[in-house]
């Protein structure tokens, strides 16, 4: 089924809570429907939205916004050790995680409570607590917007890296994700080394899938705003990566600075720490600020426009550049 609307409010489709309108909005529940729609000569400006948890609308969108409502879920292969689970791109992400935990399939539990939908997990390569969606993804199926051709990308085609995939680079804006297939494990293989996750899991009685999910949910709830209550898009910026010599210089000057050496020799810094040091937890600007428990999260304090948020974010970037000579890149996709 296809649903089509004109002059459509995007308020329910962006977790920042920004009022913006799409000239056209198209929602579909099957591959055949969206293929037919695109095959009938569509050639306008387009944008694909999932849960809208990584988007900032600065203006109304003068084109067609596509939203997948494909939500079926199917085990497509099973071995003694693995499950291949093919999931519709419109399924709510956390509902998928809850489902896999309930089934006793291991892999997604550290990614509990991330807002958004399944399609975006492949585009953004969402990650938390030492796990990235790309680690579990086997294939991504899409429809190419230009010619309505069905495409399939293997894990290596997807070119996953930290908050990165081919869908944010060479193939950006060209595809609508329809299905994502995840390889999950029947035997448990917990990843508990991030922060205080292991301690939290112990507090709940030890490592089980349900306890890991519960611990991740609790940690997230304490640090990150609930998008249903406070408008935000989760981490607004990516954690910056700098050369080792630069990291060493910064550490001399700021001994408390968190630093995470990467296998390639570079060092990842914590954007939240850098932003907090610039004083932004104390200085909201108009109706935009950073979240009190996590400075990496820019929040709409009520009634902010997309431009208000963008101006604030640019001021944050400038301050971090000035104080630390470090460039922050946005994780959020700014649509204008
Ligand atoms: N920190 C501060 N002040 C802050 C925030 C953080 O000093 O306001 C320090 C913390 O004390 C810690 C370090 O920075 O030493 C790292 O903080 P945290 O563990 O909260 O993780 P993060 O690097 O800030 C990333 C992801 C989050 C993800 C967490 C946990 C990015 C851009 N963000 O945040 O992802 O939940 O790790 O894995 O990589 C998201 O993408 O929307 C998101 C929430």
CATH number of the domain encompassing residue 267? 3.90.78.10
From residue 310, alpha-carbon distances to 16, 105, 176, 283, 298 in Å are: 12, 40, 26, 16, 10
Boundary-marking domain end, from 21, 47, 68: 68
Ligand 1: which of 114, 221, 257, 296 to mutate, judged by most atoms within 8 Å of the beta carbon?
A: 296
Q: Which residues pair with 288 in a beta bridge?
A: 285, 300
CA of 268 to the centre of ligand 1 (A): 12
Kindly tell me if the per-residue pLDDT of 41 is higher than 90.
no
Percent of the chain with pLDDT over 70: 100
Containing domain of residue 258, as a range? 231-335
Report helix, strand or coil for 191.
Answer: coil
Kindly tell me if the per-residue pLDDT of 70 is higher than 90.
yes
CA of 244 to the centre of ligand 1 (A): 20
| Residue pair 272/262 in contact by the 8 Å Cβ criterion | no
Question: What is the per-residue pLDDT for 319?
Answer: 98
Kindly tell me if the per-residue pLDDT of 234 is higher than 90.
yes
Question: 185 with 273, same domain?
Answer: no
Describe the chain by its helix, strand, coil percentages, rounded to 5.
30, 30, 40
Give the span between the Cα atoms of 135 and 204, in whole angstroms: 26
Question: 242 with 215, same domain?
Answer: no
Give the span between the Cα atoms of 287 and 334, in whole angstroms: 18
- Mean pLDDT, residues 204-223 taken together: 97
For helices 209-223 and 93-103, angle between their N-to-C axes, nearest 10 degrees: 150
Percent of the chain with pLDDT over 90: 98
331 is catalytic: yes
Question: 188 with 171, same domain?
Answer: yes
| Active-site option among 163, 183, 213, 220 | 163
Mean pLDDT over the full length of the chain:
97
Boundary-marking domain end, from 16, 42, 68: 68
Q: Count of domains in the chain?
A: 3
> Ligand 1: residues whose CB is within 6 Å?
128-129, 194-195, 223-224, 234-235, 238-239, 258, 270, 272-273, 276, 294-296, 331
């Amino acid at each position: 089924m296809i649903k089509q609307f004109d002059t459509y409010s995007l308020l329910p489709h962006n977790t920042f809570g920004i009022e913006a309108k799409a000239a056209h909005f198209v929602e579909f529940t099957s591959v055949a429907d969206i293929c037919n729609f695109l095959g009938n000569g569509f050639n306008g400006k387009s944008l694909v939205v999932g849960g809208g948890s990584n988007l900032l609308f600065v203006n109304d969108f003068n084109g067609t916004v596509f939203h997948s409502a494909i939500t079926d879920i199917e085990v497509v292969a099973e071995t003694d050790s693995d499950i291949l689970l093919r999931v519709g791109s419109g399924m709510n992400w956390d509902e998928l995680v809850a489902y896999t935990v309930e089934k006793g399939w291991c892999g997604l539990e550290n990614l509990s409570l991330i807002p958004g939908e399944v399609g975006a997990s492949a585009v953004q390569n969402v990650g938390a607590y030492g796990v990235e969606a790309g680690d579990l993804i086997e294939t991504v199926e899409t429809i190419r917007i230009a010619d309505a051709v069905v495409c399939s990308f293997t894990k290596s085609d997807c070119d996953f890296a930290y908050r990165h995939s081919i869908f944010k680079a060479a193939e950006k804006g060209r595809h609508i994700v329809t299905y994502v297939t995840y390889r999950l494990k029947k035997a448990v293989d917990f990843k508990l080394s991030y922060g205080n996750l292991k301690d939290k899991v112990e507090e709940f009685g030890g490592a089980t899938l349900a306890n890991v999910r519960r611990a991740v949910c609790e940690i997230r709830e304490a640090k990150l705003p609930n998008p249903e209550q406070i408008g935000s898009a989760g981490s607004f910026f990516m954690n910056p990566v700098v050369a080792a010599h630069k990291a060493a210089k910064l550490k001399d000057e700021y001994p408390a600075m968190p630093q995470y050496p990467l296998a390639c020799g570079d060092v990842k810094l914590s954007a939240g720490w850098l932003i907090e040091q610039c004083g932004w937890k104390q200085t909201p600007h108009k109706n935009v600020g950073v979240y009190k428990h996590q400075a990496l999260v820019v929040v709409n304090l009520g009634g902010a426009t997309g431009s208000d948020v963008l101006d604030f974010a640019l001021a944050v970037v400038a301050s971090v550049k000035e104080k630390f000579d470090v460039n922050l890149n946005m994780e959020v996709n700014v649509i204008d």
